[in-house]
Amino acid sequence: MTRNFIDLADAGTDALIAMLEAARARKLARIGWPKGTPDADAPLAGHTLAMIFEKNSTRTRVSFDMAMRQLGGTTIVMDSGSMQLGRGETIADTARVLSRYVDAIMIRTDDHQKAADLAKYATVPVINGLTDQSHPCQIMADLLTVLEYKSRIGGLEWAWLGDGNNVLHSIVEAGSLLKFPVRYGCPDGYDPADDVIAAARARGGVVRCEREAEAAIANADVVVTDTWISMGQAHAEEKLAAMMPYQVTASLMVKAKPDAIFLHCLPAHRGEEVTDEVIDGVQSVIWDEAENRLHAQKAVLLWCLGKLD
Ligand code: CP
Ligand code: NVA
């Protein structure tokens, strides 16, 4: 069966753990090497990943490209506007055709259903590089970062401050699969999707909403935020005003555990969801987190292509 990575639950707990272990091992094995040098075993030699972008990207685009180079493979990067997809060719036909040329497809799209349909009609693995609903590759990097700093994942308390968006959805999903509780502090009306919370709880996940930012962050091991206005959303002064009490400031950060780490998927809107003092502060591990996109995605690619159990 084709292994797709549309959401974390597609892979399941055991595979996620295997991917994190593989990511860590590969990262350690190439410390100090030039970044474009293939890993010693070049496990994806001869393989090509096609990437479709319907939205902007810096990290996802470059980290997947370098991931394939390090695994010994190659990439083809396409913006949907320059594809026939942008002129109305269906996602199903696009999936069928690309499957005849490449070994795997990554898509970044505004519509989760498009990613699901691409996976449905493709005969090669499809990876979600962000949709309006989820961002599983980002959370793989976040989990790897937490593992590096905390030496474990299960049982750590995560606190999310801000918009109930795609990134939070994948964190909640990860919490239910890898057994860590998630508290989210967000204003009424900007909550994560009910079905995502319900699915996580059905898997035994512990998820709690707090309307007070201080209650959300209290005693957290991991503090996370993201932009208040995601790609494709209209800039709304009303939303920015509602989010302001959830800004991650130094005075809020002290309510977390003293050794709490701060994560942000980037790009950041400094002075909105987080202050310079926090994002540039000693608890911030955002550059390791960004680097870990590369290492985590190498493991996702290996899993999708049947090179990891
Ligand atoms: N975090 C993330 O996905 O970054 P890009 O939008 O730059 O890919
Ligand atoms: N929530 C953000 C994440 C960007 C990486 C967005 O969807 O724009």
Residues 52-92 have pLDDT tens digits of 999 999 999 999 999 999 999 999 999 999 999 999 999 99
- Residue 103 alpha carbon to ligand 1 centre in Å: 23
**Distance (Å, whole) CA 230 – CA 287:** 21
Burial 156-195 (b: 16+ CB within 10 A, else e): bbbbbbbbbbbbbbbbbbbbbbbbbbbbbbbbeebebbee
Q: Which residues are annotated as catalytic?
A: 108, 135, 138, 226, 265, 293
Q: Is residue 126 within 8 Å of residue 104, measured between CB atoms? A: yes
Average pLDDT over residues 259-270: 98
- Counting from 1 in the atom list of ligand 1, the atom nearest the Cα of 265 is 1
Indicate if ligand 1 lies below 6 Å from the C-beta of 145: no
- pLDDT(276) > 90: yes
- Residue 272 alpha carbon to ligand 2 centre in Å: 14
**Distance (Å, whole) CA 268 – CA 279:** 9
- Domain positions in the chain are 8-135+293-304, 137-289
**Distance (Å, whole) CA 135 – CA 274:** 20
Residue range 98-116, pLDDT digits in tens: 999 999 999 999 999 999 9
Residue 309: what pLDDT?
A: 84
Let me know if domain 8-135+293-304 sits in CATH 3.40.228.10: no
Fold of 137-289: Rossmann fold (3.40.50)
- pLDDT(183) > 90: yes
Same fold, 8-135+293-304 and 137-289: yes
Average pLDDT, the chain: 98
- pLDDT(235) > 90: no
Q: pTM value?
A: 0.98
Residue 61: what pLDDT?
A: 98
